[in-house]
A and B are shown apart, each in its own frame.
Chain A
Amino acid sequence: MAVYSLYIISKSGSLLYQKDFNVVNSPISKHNTNDYLVIASTLHGVHAIASKLTPKEAMGNYERSRLPSNSNRYGLQCIRTDRFNICVYQSTTGLKIILITSKDLSDLSVLQLQSKLYEYYTDFVLKNPFYRLEMPIRLKLFDDKVQSVVTSHNV
Chain B
Amino acid sequence: MSRQLKQIGDDIWKSKAEKVNSELFTLTYGSVVAQLCKDFNYDYDEVNKELFNMGLNIGVRLIDEFLQKTQLSRCANLRDTAEVVSKIGFKIFLNITPTVAHWTADYKSFGLILAENPLADFVELPDDGKANKELWYSNILCGVLKGCFEMVQLDCDVSFVEDTLRGDETTEIRVKLIKVLKDEIPAGEE
Chain A interfacial positions (CB closer than 8 Å to B): 11, 47-48, 50-52, 59, 67-69, 71-76, 90-95, 115, 118-119, 121-123, 126-127, 133
User: Across the interface, do A95 and B68 meet the contact criterion of CB distance under 8 Å?
Assistant: no
CA distance A147 to B59 in the complex (A): 28
Q: How far is the CA of A133 from the CA of B57 in the complex (A)?
A: 10
**Within the complex, what minimum Cβ distance (angstroms) separates B148 from chain A?**
10
| CB of B129 within 8 Å of the partner chain | no
Overall SS of chain A's interface: loop
Contact between chains at B61 and A127 (CB < 8 Å) = yes
What residues of chain B lie closer than 8 Å to A76, measured between beta carbons? 188
Given contacts A91-B68, A93-B63, A93-B152, is CB(A51)–CB(B188) below 8 Å?
Answer: yes
B73 interface residue, CB < 8 Å from A? yes
Q: List 15 extra interface pairs beyond A52-B187, A90-B186, A118-B68, CB under 8 A.
A: A50-B188, A68-B72, A69-B68, A69-B72, A71-B186, A71-B189, A73-B190, A91-B64, A91-B68, A92-B189, A93-B63, A93-B186, A121-B64, A127-B61, A133-B61
A1–chain B nearest beta-carbon distance, Å: 24
Of A47, A69, A91, A93, the residue contacting B187 (CB under 8 A) is: A47
Contact indicator A71/B74 (Cβ below 8 Å): yes
B188's contact among A47, A67, A119, by CB below 8 Å, is which?
Answer: A47
Name the residue of chain B whose CB is nearest to the CB of A128.
B61
Q: For B151, list chain A residues within 8 Å (CB).
A: 93
Q: A68 touches which one: B62, B65, B71, B152 (CB < 8 A)?
A: B71
* A50: chain B residues within 8 A (beta carbon): 188
| Complex contact B67–A93 (CB within 8 A) | yes
Q: Is the CB of A69 within 8 A of B60?
A: no
Interface positions, chain B 47-63, Cβ under 8 Å from A, are: 60-63
- Chain A to chain B contacts (Cβ below 8 Å), 16 pairs: A47-B187, A51-B188, A67-B71, A69-B72, A71-B186, A74-B190, A75-B188, A76-B188, A91-B67, A92-B67, A115-B68, A121-B64, A122-B65, A123-B65, A133-B60, A133-B61
